[in-house]
Structure 1
Amino acid sequence: MNPTDQQTTDRYPTSLRMLHWVRAALIAGLLWAGWHMTGLNDEVASKYELYYPWHKSFGVLAFLVVLTQIALRLRTPGLPQPLETLERYERFLSRLAQRAMYALLVVVPLMGYSMSSTYTMSDGVFFFGVNLPELLAKNDDWFVVFQWLHKVLAYTLLGLILLHLAGALKHRFYDQDPQRDVLRRML
């Protein structure tokens, strides 16, 4: 059957809605922890004994959740399309922001992994008690590049998330038109 022949629905399937909110909680925690831990003085023991290892673990978990979510999206026919009641530019921005967020949700953890893998003083990539293999050679010059990319792309992701939230809240509360309420599709 052609995917365009599939009946579309108004809400995302339960599995995708659950993964969306789990991912949202993980990313919010990771953004906060990343911002907080990098602001700590290097002499604070919890910076390297608590924050960095757990940030890495939850980062890998978020990466796995996103990959699962992408796989489910690709395998699930009839996912909701942007609402026709939205302005054309809103539908365009929605798709653009969603695609950019998914790309960053994959790339940001990869840059974090690359940082940990290349940094000569790193103990590796901790994942809830297991050190994952380091696939990149130790090289502090590359570490600096990956660190910069991880930071800039994480802030870019934060900006897109805020735009995503603002758009969903605008359509829910400001537009006051149930036909423009995109949030109900994820609840």
Structure 2
Amino acid sequence: MRALHWIRAVLILGLLALGITMTWLPDTVAAKFTWMYPNHKQFGVLVWLLVLVQLGIRWRSVRPAPPAGLKPWERHAAHIVHVAMYVLALVVPMMGYAMSSSFTQSDGVPFFGLEVPELLPKNDAAFAVFDWLHMVLAYTLLGCVVLHVAGVIKHRYFDSDRDNDVLPRMF
């Protein structure tokens, strides 16, 4: 689970950075379409698959209890952020897939030499909705990641109770 956590974290941060970069670049930059979009798509599919694997493992495993010294609001906030990150790590790639599948000029969704079938009808109005949802939910995921990291930093460096340090549990 730890390895999946860190692989997923690196992939999501990379996808967020690449997504922001792609949208800021002008369309005249060839790399935007030759390698940025295809890699963003295929690594997005990979994140989606990894989250499914991770959820399957979590469902079948006993998870360690949160540190006993956490305040109830901290425990509740951590739970909400974790659930939101899992949900968004599934929904954001699905919205990206829906964008690509519905866009009339899409060249498909690659996945490391394979093509993911496009199941949605081509419709640029639907594409615009999926595009907006993908962007808003991706930024929401970024916000959850920031909250997650801020919680780790708080418990590591600012809590008086050293037993609340969750970072060693993640390595």
Q: Which of residues 39, 43, 46 in structure 1 aligns to 2:24? A: 39
What is the distance in 1 between the residues matched to 2:53 and 2:16?
21
What is the distance in 2 between the residues matched to 1:160 and 1:83?
20
Gaps of 5+ in 2: none
CA contact (8 A) 2:69 2:161 kept: no
Give the alignment's TM-score, normalised by structure 1: 0.89
What is the distance in 2 between the residues matched to 1:44 and 1:130?
25
Matched, 1:180 2:164: yes
Aligned with 1:120: secondary structure? Answer: coil
RMSD over aligned CA atoms reads: 0.8
Give the alignment's TM-score, normalised by structure 2: 0.98
CA contact (8 A) 1:117 1:135 kept: yes
Instruction: Note the alpha carbon deviations across 1:47-104, whole angstroms, 9 max, x for none.
Output: 111100000011011111111000000011x211222210110000000110011100
CA contact (8 A) 2:67 2:164 kept: yes
The equivalences for 1:1-187 within 5 A come to 16-76=1-61, 78-187=62-171
CA contact (8 A) 1:101 1:160 kept: yes
What is the distance in 1 between the residues matched to 2:98 and 2:92?
10
What is the distance in 2 between the residues matched to 1:39 and 1:128?
25
Instruction: Note the alpha carbon deviations across 1:124-145, whole angstroms, 9 max, x for none.
Output: 1111122110011111000000
Gaps of 5+ in 1: 1-15
CA contact (8 A) 1:117 1:134 kept: yes
Aligned with 2:65: secondary structure? Answer: coil
Identity among equivalent pairs (%)? 55
CA contact (8 A) 2:104 2:122 kept: yes
